[in-house]
Amino acid sequence: MRDRPLAPLLAPSLAEARLPRDAGARAVVLRARDAVAAGERPADTHFDDLLPAALKAHAARHFTPVADALRVGAWLDDLGVGSILDVGSGAGKLCVVAAIAAPRCRFLGIEQRSGLVEVARSIAARFELDDRVSFVEGSIGVAGLPAVEAYYLFNPFGENLLPSGERLDEDVELGDDRYDRDVREAEALLESAPPGTVLITHNGFGGRVPAAFEQLAFAPCAAGALVLRRRRRRPV
């Protein structure tokens, strides 16, 4: 599993249409896109500076760092994964950044907070990735989920157990009961996943990964570890 140069991404004709009118925001978008188009590794600020201030304050804690997202993208690309669902996609950071490193993969995020879905869609559009990076509002266990080749879980339910000052907001149901329900839903999702399904966890998800998933790679990271697994084609 390797690092690779980033392919130029952006079509100049479309680029102008997607730029915000506000001069400050416009400069931030241009800086991020120029870096990626030049084949540079984007920095966390290239994404986080696009977030509204209230969300930016939470980015380091709640959203996947760029270096980890690029590793996820490289893993997906190496395995030839064609589609992935980010369970709890937040502001879209994992999907947008990993999509830069996995140009053959479609990314879908499901996110319970409508405001985050809007932010994620807008950032995907600014990076001109919205043809293969999309977001739906919903909660696992309530919304139907599409068939995908891979799942990504960055400890999405951990926020339920945090003190209120460390949560993204208090606008959704949070707490021990929600945590237990969501962890059980994620376990059921993985139990029913077909052979060949790829699973990438980032600091786990609080539940048990079925034994049918074999570990393919492990990478320590700031939040704990990234683990790449794939469901065996034959029962264990």
- Residue keyed to tokens 């993204």: 168
Q: Least CB distance from residue 2 to ligand SAM, whole Å?
A: 22
Task: Name, in order, each residue with C-beta under 8 angstroms of 165's C-beta and a sequence gap of 6 or more.
Answer: none
Element (H, E) at 212: none
In 3D, which of 104, 121, 124 has the Cα closest to residue 32?
124
Q: Which is nearer to ligand SAM, 84 or 140 (CB)?
A: 140
Q: Least CB distance from residue 62 to ligand SAM, whole Å?
A: 5
Q: Which is nearer to ligand SAM, 89 or 197 (CB)?
A: 89
Residue pair 90/56 in contact by the 8 Å Cβ criterion: no
Instruction: Tell me the C-alpha distance between 88 and 157, whole Å.
Output: 8
- The residue at minimum Cβ distance from ligand SAM is 88
Cα distance from N-terminal residue to C-terminal residue, the chain: 26
Of residues 30-69, which lie at the interface with ligand SAM (CB under 6 A)? Answer: 62-64
- Residue keyed to tokens 């053959």: 104
Q: Which is nearer to ligand SAM, 62 or 230 (CB)?
A: 62
86 interacts with ligand SAM by CB under 6 A: yes
54's tokens: 């209230």
Q: Least CB distance from residue 213 to ligand SAM, whole Å?
A: 19
Whole-angstrom CA distances from 219 to 1, 62, 201 are: 11, 19, 11
Instruction: Tell me the C-alpha distance between 179 and 204, whole Å.
Output: 13
Q: Which of 36, 89, 105, 199 binds ligand SAM (CB under 6 A)?
A: 89
71 interacts with ligand SAM by CB under 6 A: no
Q: Least CB distance from residue 68 to ligand SAM, whole Å?
A: 8
Q: Residue 10 carries which DSSP code?
A: -
Q: Which of 47, 75, 107, 154 binds ligand SAM (CB under 6 A)?
A: 154
Strands (E), 5-105: 83-87
Of residues 204-233, which lie at the interface with ligand SAM (CB under 6 A)? Answer: none
Q: Which of 110, 133, 150, 189 binds ligand SAM (CB under 6 A)?
A: 110
Of residues 175-194, which lie at the interface with ligand SAM (CB under 6 A)? Answer: 182
- Contacting positions for ligand SAM (CB under 6 A): 62-64, 86, 88-90, 93-94, 110-113, 116, 139-140, 154-157, 182
